[in-house]
Amino acid sequence: MNFSIYDFTEFIRSIHFWLTGIFSPALADVIGLAIIGVCFLLFVTLLGLSLVYIERKVAAFFQQRLGPMRVGFWGTAQTVADIIKLIFKEPLVTKNSDKFLFNLAAFIVLIAPFMVIGAVPFAKGLHALDFDIGLFYITAVSSIGVTGILLAGWSSNNKYSLIGAMRSGAQIVSYELSVVLSLLTIVVLTGSLRLSEIIASQSDGWWIFKGNIPAIIAFIIFIVASTAESNRGPFDLAEAESELTAGFHTEYSGIRFAFFFLAEYVNFFIIAAVGATVFFGGWMPLHIGNIEFFNNAMDVIPPVIWFFGKVAALLFLIMWFKWTFPRLRIDQLLTLEWKYLLPISIVNILLMSLVALNGWHL
Amino acid sequence: MFKSIYKYLSDIFNGVKTLLTGMKITGYYFFHPKEIITQQYPENRETLKMFDMFRGEVVLIHDENNEHRCTGCSACEIACPNGTIEIISDKAIDPETGKSKKVIDKFVYHLQMCTMCNLCILACPTDAIKMAQTFEHAVYDRSTLTKVLNKPGSKIMAGVKE
């Protein structure tokens, strides 16, 4: 096995050869898929645990607090303790609720991020699903999650849950448009929806720098619209604590509540990962044109670190939004999308087409 | 036409500007951990310094000669909204004039009823009482919360008049 932190293609291939050497080709494929599945399960669990802790700490520092400090060193074991508590709690089901849909909703909410995270490119060669339609797949599948939210609200037999779910539905249907249009603005330049090709096209500079003004506008629209799409503050109307107790997951407890919580944080990660891939070159190190000296110096840092660094920066930005801005009203929310973000993104995509046709981008 | 387009665009710029102002403030807090106001209480019990405005309990100020400034005028008792303070007064002979004079026998303070509203301190004409910054008031027996504030053997400071 020749393991390299810079290029995982050989490493993955050698694992595949090793498996086909032991088992029959069909069985080797199944075992390979199972290994990938277990890796993603572990990754998502660790991601959920660490993101909840980081978010609580970051939120505290934005509000002049310290956050969790008691469990473990600087409260690092707090989320582990929380998860253990949630596992041992009784999963209550409300009276007269639709039990089947109630149970199903928690899984549908979690299925969507699991399907999307397979298409996220972590590093060169460390990419489970590389389709020709990668970006389309991500935007399509990530909106399955809203089905789970709507089902959860509908089946709970609770007015708060229902209002929260309906708000969430209206929000996601609206903001999906802006997210897709802002991503398409960059696709105009790349000419491909395949995520590996989108990253390869940024080997001489990231699109946010190369793509002129429309790329910057597209990035701002993307970050606003995708924050709204993931039901995070300041767009957290679906679970507005002061109005709807907890919105669509009011009636969920124990491990099913943990599913909703985990799905929220994995979606959060996916948004940052997609934003980093499309606008900031994913795992591609910072390259400026053909300046060999600078590019080689940047290549020393492994791509995994570049990817997670960019994702962390975007996560921090979205957390900054959440802990600074007050929550919008439902009419303000829809006004922002239909009167501001959507017209701007349509004009922006036309502007980008003009830029691409005339070759004004780098 | 142009006016409405101008308004649309200026609305966007003003909105973004106000959002950035908010982000600047929270960003300042994030990168300046010295601004954190959380106190890690049981750990820092030895070094904990309470804030000036904090109101813990009412105390009667005594000086080193075991003298206080309370004339027993009952202004605090009248000012108190919950009947926390009870002044039990006594008559004593003034050594200078030889006349009988009102002095306090017991300044009774029911901590369990006090809401720390500060009205008694404001009402006191001779500034005899103040709010202390102690806060560890938990006890096993409720009756220990009823305190007599004047120390045994204490007397009124010379020259304090109503």
CA distance A118 to chain B (A): 33
Can you tell me the mean pLDDT for B13-21? Answer: 89
3-class SS of residue B91: strand
CA distance B41 to chain A (A): 12
Give CA B51 to chain center in angstroms.
10
Question: Which chain B residues contact residue A320 at CB under 8 A?
Answer: 23, 26-27, 30
Pick the residue from chain A with its C-alpha nearest to B18.
A325
Q: What is the per-residue pLDDT across A287-331, written as a single tens digit (0 to 9) for each?
A: 777 777 777 777 778 888 888 889 999 999 888 888 888 888 888
pLDDT the model gives residue B71 = 84
Q: What does the mean pLDDT of chain B come to?
A: 85
Does any CB of chain A come closer than 8 Å to the CB of residue B40?
yes
User: Which B residues 115-144 touch A at CB under 8 Å?
Assistant: none
Can you tell me the mean pLDDT for A123-136? Answer: 81
In the predicted structure, residue A268 carries a pLDDT above the cut 60: yes
Pick the CATH number of B57-155 from 3.40.309.10, 3.40.1360.10, 3.30.70.3270, 1.10.10.10: 3.30.70.3270
CB contact under 8 A, B29 and A320: no
Q: Compute the count of residue pairs across chains A and B with CB atoms less than 8 Å apart.
A: 37
pLDDT the model gives residue A1 = 54
Q: Are A223 and A314 in contact (CB under 8 A)?
A: yes
CB contact under 8 A, B37 and A65: yes
CB contact under 8 A, A324 and B26: yes
CB contact under 8 A, A66 and B38: yes
Q: What is the per-residue pLDDT across A140-163, written as a single tens digit (0 to 9) for each?
A: 888 888 888 888 888 888 888 888
Pick the residue from chain B with its C-alpha nearest to A58.
B30
Give CA A10 to chain center in angstroms.
28
The DSSP annotation for A67-133 comes to ---SSSGGGTTHHHHHHHHHHHS-----TTS-HHHHHHHHHHHHHHHHHHHTT---BTTB-S---TT
Can you tell me the mean pLDDT for A162-168? Answer: 85
pLDDT the model gives residue B140 = 92
Output DSSP code: residue A194.
-
The DSSP annotation for A278-330 comes to HHH-TT-----TT-HHHHHHHHTS-HHHHHHHHHHHHHHHHHHHHTTSPPPPH
Pick the residue from chain B with its C-alpha nearest to A234.
B19
Q: CA–CA separation, A74 vs A57, rounded Å?
A: 9
Question: Which chain B residues contact residue A319 at CB under 8 A?
Answer: none
Q: CA–CA separation, B100 vs B98, rounded Å?
A: 7
Q: What is the CA radius of gyration of chain A?
A: 21
Question: Which chain A residues contact residue B27 at CB under 8 A?
Answer: 320
Question: Which chain B residues contact residue A63 at CB under 8 A?
Answer: 26, 29
Q: CA–CA separation, A78 vs A80, rounded Å?
A: 5
Q: Chain A residues contacting B, CB < 8 Å?
A: 58, 60-66, 69, 320-321, 323-325, 340
Q: Are A348 and A87 in contact (CB under 8 A)?
A: no
Which two tokens mark A315?
């996560």
CB contact under 8 A, A58 and B12: no
Does any CB of chain A come closer than 8 Å to the CB of residue B29?
yes
CB contact under 8 A, A324 and B22: yes
Does any CB of chain A come closer than 8 Å to the CB of residue B81?
no
CA distance B139 to chain A (A): 25
Q: What does the mean pLDDT of chain A come to?
A: 84
Least confident of A68-77, A173-182, A310-319, B149-158: B149-158
Does any CB of chain A come closer than 8 Å to the CB of residue B78?
no
Q: Which residues pair with B87 in a beta bridge?
A: B107
Of B19, B27, B38, nearest to A65 by CB-CB distance is B38
**CA distances in angstroms from A289 to A40, A210, A296, A309, B156, listed in the order given:** 35, 10, 12, 22, 87
Question: Which chain B residues contact residue A69 at CB under 8 A?
Answer: 40
Report residue A56: phi and psi, to 5°.
-65, -40
Q: What is the per-residue pLDDT across B77-125, written as a single tens digit (0 to 9) for each?
A: 899 998 898 888 887 777 667 777 778 888 899 988 889 898 999 998 8
Q: What is the per-residue pLDDT across A82-127, written as a single tens digit (0 to 9) for each?
A: 888 888 888 888 788 888 888 888 888 888 888 888 888 887 777 7
Q: What is the per-residue pLDDT across B22-55, written as a single tens digit (0 to 9) for each?
A: 889 888 888 888 888 888 888 888 888 888 888 8
Q: What is the per-residue pLDDT across A47-65, written as a single tens digit (0 to 9) for each?
A: 888 888 999 999 898 888 8
Report residue B55: phi and psi, to 5°.
-115, 115
pLDDT the model gives residue A2 = 63
CB contact under 8 A, A61 and B33: yes
